[in-house]
């Protein structure tokens, strides 16, 4: 991009440029989150939790109170915090390993309890920080360091359908969506709704974000884009899976605008 | 606001688990997060019954990992928050506790020891001493009070909240299944009425002002990029812990002046050893009693002074030497003979202690 | 350790062992005595032998468990087997006559081994539901750790709400205590049971 959009107010200038690899999807996801924070004017009453793996690089990303932990335990830290201080807007930000493997019980349990928190989960199809191992989200046939001949679904299962699972176990007041960094406008709407749903005290809010990892995918710009635009959506359907009625009523017939 | 839960001095007769729940209320704890495991369950049972009366919060989490991490969340929010666990739960709890150590978070954990290793018994042991004092991938930056009586459970649960918030260090009340389930009398009281000041909790997040503009944002992390960066943080913890080592050790002792033998035990076993030592002294034997109350930090100075005044030490515990290891570290360089009486996973009776002590001074 | 009574009551789950121990403990506590009561609560609790350890004395009590009991009341074959290790020279061992002594060996080396017809008496003269209260009467007579009046008060405290609805129940419980005391009194006077 030749012209950089203005930096969100909630971003911490002192820690920019950020520490993510070139082409990494985290930067776009966190830009979208930053814009949503600005727009909803919640910077001074927000707690941002990030996890181990690449998400931990965000520990000083925002001018927002932040806590960093690991193993998907960001979810219970944020749950404990939110229950103690319901007036705060609390976000748990993690990767697919944290949310769907080692910390899956926390995601499942928080969703089932309909905890009034927002979980944002980055799906880049592998464990990135640790050097590109197979993740619950790795695609069939996809080569990683621990599936060097390609993931064999017969032996290691199919990619986790996270939002689909969360949508199944949450009540109607929950908000569940899968967005992608390749459609920032749509993603912005999803992240905003996921925060608004918490602010309204309605229910659990979950957004999985398809994100790029050229470093571990070992792809050039063109193939990186092709993987996230074409390949990933064939396994992970992008869109809103569960939208509380309040949003549907407010949106009127503007559904089409969602596609950025 | 709800009224004070306890006014005046109140003599009661109840189980240890019930005592802990009342003590937490008396300490003005606000939140308990927990997961069922015997023998600590009734702490949750009583807390959930008291909760609506005194405006308290509870959540039964999905496991002890979550119980520990939600407790951290509660503390970050600025609330006195605690959890309770035992056995395999104490194992899982080490992950959040390591985080609490690293960030020096004032979480309070009540451990009611059961048998180990693994599932073992739901009944009793003193086999969680190592885990409670030095568990986790860290350096044991923790404060551990080992209780012997129901009065201890009440007093030290209140104290644990105060010490945790004053020193910003994870603090433990170490009990066991016997204490959890047995009934005996104690006096409950409102600590402030007795002149015990209750340390006020403070929030880490959600403070007034726009972060990054009117105040710095609270950026709380466990992750460090370089070895040096980490080393600096840990060294700060070491320094903080030195202060704790000077200020917090507690113990109880009698009859250790020029003793032929001193019996050392902690927790509920110290009751049996006290009973035994008193009986032996009544017979005219020159035997002393020493009970460390803090197991982390150990009362090093008092132990070393005691070792200089006695010929032998008999260390008694319901574990295979977990207290003895701490003791030997405290007594490094001393030549006093240390004799074990280890009964892993079972209770110790005064009769056993008396028999072994007699052999040693014969 | 003057005047410390170490009491053990054991039976099958559902016989109301722990309730008896709790009421006795309450009564002794109300008398201003030092009391320590602990149930066994292993996974054994489910479908196993229920054991209550109770110590009552004039001075603070040390260890919650003990090696040798002053009195043991064992109410089933399994309870006899489970408690045998706690029998020593000072022990008064009381068992129910319903215990099939052919199936289980009675302890040796006790001060006294006594059989009382608890189950039978409760069934014939009172009501099976007050069997455990009768056993409490037996323990009171054998140990004198609390007065029958205070035991009645402790029962009142626990079951008073039920007695309000049905005063006959109060009479039944009180009679059960007295009958239990008589049973032990009779066998004690009779010497070795």
Domains in chain C, number: 1
- The phi and psi torsions of A40 (rounded to 5 degrees) equal -85, -5
Q: Band of the pLDDT at C191, cuts 50, 70, 90?
A: low
Q: Which helix (H) or strand (E) holds C45?
A: none
* pLDDT number for residue A164: 98
A97-118 as b/e: b if 16+ CB within 10 A: bbbbbbbbbbbbbbbebbbbbb
Average pLDDT in chain B: 97
Assigned token pair, B286:
């020159």
Pairs from B48-56 (Cβ < 8 Å, separation ≥ 24): B50/B5, B50/B21, B50/B22, B50/B25, B53/B2, B53/B5, B54/B2, B54/B5, B54/B25, B55/B1, B55/B2, B56/B25, B56/B29, B56/B30, B56/B31, B56/B32
Structure tokens of A5? 């959009």
- Give dist(CA B256, CA C184) in Å, integer: 47
Torsion of CA B82, B87, B92, B95, to 10 degrees: 60
Give CA–CA dist B92/B94, Å, rounded.
5
pTM given for the model: 0.94
DSSP β-ladder status, B294-296 and B143-146? antiparallel
Cα(A171)–Cα(A193) distance, integer angstroms = 16
Closest CA to C116 of C73, C77, C146, C86: C73
Position A3 confidence tier, pLDDT thresholds 50, 70, 90: low
Write down the pLDDT at residue B1: 46
C-alpha–C-alpha distance, residues C110 and C70, integer Å:
10
* Interface contact B275-C34, CB threshold 8 A: no
Among partner residues A45, A84, A106, which is closest to B79 by beta-carbon distance?
Answer: A84
| Domain with C44 in it | 5-189
Tell me which chain B residues have a C-beta less than 8 angstroms from the C-beta of A63: 210-213, 217
Per-residue pLDDT at A258 exceeds 60 = no
Of C26, C39, C63, which is closest to B350 when you measure between CB atoms? C63
CB contact under 8 A, A73 and B95: yes
**Hey, where are the domains in chain B?**
10-188, 252-361
Q: Please give the backbone phi and psi of residue B275, each rounded to the nearest 5 degrees, phi first.
A: -60, -45
pLDDT category of residue C45 using cuts at 50, 70 and 90: low
Are B348 and C63 inside 8 Å of each other by CB?
Answer: yes
Mean pLDDT, chain A, integer: 94
Third-level CATH fold of B252-361: Rossmann fold (3.40.50)
pLDDT higher than 60, residue A88:
yes
**Is residue B329 classed exposed, middle or buried when 0-12, 13-18 and 19+ CB atoms within 10 A define those classes?**
exposed
Q: What integer pLDDT is reported at residue A5 of this predicted model?
A: 67
pLDDT band with cut points at 50, 70 and 90 for residue B161: very high
CATH number of B10-188: 3.40.50.970
Q: Are A47 and A67 in contact (CB under 8 A)?
A: yes
Integer Cα distance of A187 and A205 in angstroms: 14
3-state SS, residue B117: coil
* Chain C interface mutation, best of B39, B122, B185, highest count of C Cβ atoms under 10 Å: B185
Question: How distant is the Cα of C3 from the closest Cα of chain B, in angstroms?
Answer: 14
Query: How large a percentage of chain A has pLDDT more than 70?
Result: 94
B2 or C77: which leads in pLDDT: C77
CB-based contact (8 Å) between B268 and chain C? yes
Phi and psi at C101, nearest 5°, equal -70, -10
pLDDT band for A6, please (50, 70, 90 cuts).
confident
H-helix or E-strand containing A168? helix A162-169
Superfamily (CATH) of domain A13-250: Thiamin diphosphate (ThDP)-binding fold, Pyr/PP domains (3.40.50.970)
Q: What are the structural domain ranges in chain A?
A: 13-250
For residue C1, give the nearest of B288, B267, B283 by alpha carbon: B283
Say whether pLDDT at A33 is over 60.
Answer: yes
- Strand, coil or helix: A61: coil
Question: What is the rounded average pLDDT of the residues C45-70?
Answer: 89
Q: Which two tokens stand for residue B207?
A: 């403070």
Is B82 part of the contact surface with chain A (CB cutoff 8 Å)? Answer: no
Q: Alpha carbon A122 to chain centroid distance?
A: 4
B30/A84 CB distance under 8 A: yes
CATH number of the domain where residue C82 is located: 3.40.920.10
Burial environment of residue C55 by CB neighbours within 10 A (0 to 12, 13 to 18, 19 or more): buried
Which whole number is the average pLDDT over C88-94? 95
pLDDT score, position C46 = 64
Whether residue B70 and residue A79 make contact (CB cut-off 8 A), yes or no, is yes
The CA-atom distances, in angstroms, between B117 and each of B102, B124, C110 are 27, 12, 37
**Mean pLDDT, all residues of chain C:** 90
- Residue B291 is classified by DSSP as E
Interchain contact B62–C (C-beta under 8 A):
no
pLDDT the model gives residue A260: 40
Please report, rounded to a whole number, the percentage of residues in chain C having pLDDT higher than 90: 74
Helix (H, G, I), strand (E, B) or coil at A221: helix
> What are the respective helix, strand and coil percentages of chain C, to the nearest 5?
50, 20, 35
Asked whether B289 and B296 are in contact (CB, 8 A), the reply is: no
- The ipTM, to two decimals, is 0.93
Predicted local confidence at residue C1, as pLDDT: 36
Decide if pLDDT at B2 tops 80. no
> In the structure, what pLDDT confidence band is assigned to residue C100 with cuts at 50, 70 and 90?
confident
Q: Band of the pLDDT at B192, cuts 50, 70, 90?
A: very high
DSSP H or E segment with residue C181: helix C167-189
Q: C17-26 pLDDT, tens per residue?
A: 999 999 999 9
Q: Does B271 contact C63 at a Cβ distance shorter than 8 Å?
A: yes
Q: How many CB atoms lie within 10 A of CB A131?
A: 12
User: Which of B:199-228 have CB within 8 Å of A?
Assistant: 203-207, 209-213, 217-223
Task: Please report, in angstroms and rounded to a whole number, the separation of the first and last CA atoms in chain B.
Answer: 63
Q: Between chains, do B205 and A79 touch, taking CB under 8 Å as contact?
A: no
Q: How confident is the model at residue C48 (pLDDT cuts 50, 70, 90)?
A: confident
CA distance B12 to chain C (A): 9
At residue C75, does pLDDT exceed 90?
yes
């Amino acid at each position: 991009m030749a012209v950089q959009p203005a930096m969100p107010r909630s971003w911490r200038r002192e820690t920019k440029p950020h520490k993510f690899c070139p082409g990494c999807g985290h930067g776009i996801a966190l830009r979208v989150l930053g814009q949503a924070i600005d727009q909803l004017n919640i910077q001074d009453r927000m707690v941002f939790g990030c996890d181990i793996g690449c998400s931990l690089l965000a520990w000083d990303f925002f001018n927002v109170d932040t806590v960093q932990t690991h193993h998907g335990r960001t979810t219970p830290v944020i749950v404990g915090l939110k229950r103690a201080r319901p007036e705060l807007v609390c976000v748990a930000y993690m990767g697919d390993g944290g949310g769907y493997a080692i910390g899956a019980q926390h995601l499942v349990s928080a969703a089932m309890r309909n905890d009034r928190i927002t979980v944002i989960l980055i799906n880049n199809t592998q464990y990135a920080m640790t050097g590109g191992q197979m993740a619950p989200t790795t695609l069939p046939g996809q080569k990683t360091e621990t599936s060097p001949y390609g993931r064999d679904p017969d032996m290691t299962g199919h990619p986790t359908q996270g939002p689909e699972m969360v949508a199944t176990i949450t009540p109607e007041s929950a908000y569940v969506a899968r967005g992608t960094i390749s459609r920032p406008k749509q993603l912005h709407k999803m992240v905003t709704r996921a925060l608004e749903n918490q602010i309204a005290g309605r229910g659990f809010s979950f957004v999985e974000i398809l994100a790029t990892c050229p470093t571990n995918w070992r792809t050039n710009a063109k193939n990186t884009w092709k993987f996230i635009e074409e390949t990933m959506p064939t396994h992970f359907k992008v869109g809103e899976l569960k939208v509380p009625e309040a949003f549907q009523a407010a949106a009127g017939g503007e559904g089409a605008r969602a596609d950025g | 606001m709800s009224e004070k839960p306890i006014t005046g001095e109140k003599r009661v007769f109840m189980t240890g688990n019930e005592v802990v729940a009342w003590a937490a209320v008396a300490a003005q704890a606000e939140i308990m997060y927990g997961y069922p495991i015997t023998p600590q369950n009734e702490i949750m049972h009583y807390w959930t019954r008291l909760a609506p009366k005194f405006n308290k919060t509870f959540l039964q989490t999905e496991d002890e990992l979550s119980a520990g991490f939600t407790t951290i969340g509660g503390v970050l929010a600025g609330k006195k928050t605690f959890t309770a666990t035992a056995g395999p739960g104490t194992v899982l709890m080490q992950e959040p506790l390591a985080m609490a150590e690293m960030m020096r978070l004032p979480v309070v954990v009540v451990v009611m020891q059961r048998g180990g290793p693994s599932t073992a018994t739901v009944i009793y042991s003193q086999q969680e001493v190592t885990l409670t004092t030095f568990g986790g991938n860290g350096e044991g930056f923790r404060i551990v009070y080992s209780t012997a009586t129901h009065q201890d459970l009440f007093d030290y649960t209140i104290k644990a909240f105060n010490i945790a918030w004053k020193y910003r260090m994870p603090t433990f009340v170490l009990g066991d299944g016997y204490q959890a389930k047995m009934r005996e009398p104690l006096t409950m009281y409102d600590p402030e009425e007795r002149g015990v000041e209750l340390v006020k909790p403070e929030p880490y997040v959600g403070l007034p002002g726009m972060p990054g503009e009117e105040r710095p944002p609270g950026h709380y992390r466990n992750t460090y990029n370089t070895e040096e960066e980490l080393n600096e943080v840990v060294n700060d913890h070491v320094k903080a812990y030195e202060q704790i080592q000077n200020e917090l050790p507690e113990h109880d002792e009698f009859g250790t002046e020029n003793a032929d033998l001193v019996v050392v035990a902690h927790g509920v076993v110290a009751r049996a050893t006290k009973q035994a030592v008193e009986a032996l002294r009544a017979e005219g034997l020159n035997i002393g009693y020493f009970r460390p109350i803090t197991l982390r930090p150990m009362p090093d100075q008092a132990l070393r002074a005691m070792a200089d005044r006695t010929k032998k030490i008999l260390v008694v515990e319901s574990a295979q030497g977990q207290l003895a290891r701490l003791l030997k570290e405290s007594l490094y360089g001393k030549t006093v003979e240390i004799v074990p009486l280890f009964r892993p996973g079972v209770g110790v009776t005064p009769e056993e202690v008396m028999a072994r002590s007699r052999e040693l001074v014969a | 350790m003057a005047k410390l009574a170490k009491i053990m009551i054991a039976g099958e789950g559902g016989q109301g062992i722990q309730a008896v121990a709790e009421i006795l403990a309450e009564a002794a506590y109300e008398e201003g005595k030092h009391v320590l009561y602990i149930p066994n609560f292993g996974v054994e609790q489910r479908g196993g032998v229920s054991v209550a350890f109770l110590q009552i004395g004039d001075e603070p009590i040390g260890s919650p468990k003990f090696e040798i009991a002053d009195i043991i009341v064992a109410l089933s074959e399994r309870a006899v087997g489970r408690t045998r290790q706690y029998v020593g020279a000072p022990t008064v061992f009381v068992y129910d006559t319903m215990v099939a002594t052919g199936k289980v060996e009675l302890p040796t080396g006790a001060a006294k081994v006594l059989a009382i017809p608890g189950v039978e008496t409760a069934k014939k003269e009172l009501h099976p539901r007050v069997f455990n209260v009768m056993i409490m009467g037996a323990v009171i007579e054998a140990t004198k750790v609390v007065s029958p009046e205070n035991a009645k008060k402790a029962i009142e405290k626990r079951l008073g709400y039920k007695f309000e609805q049905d005063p006959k129940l109060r009479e039944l419980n009180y009679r059960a205590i007295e009958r239990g005391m008589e049973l032990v009194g009779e066998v004690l006077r009779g010497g070795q049971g």
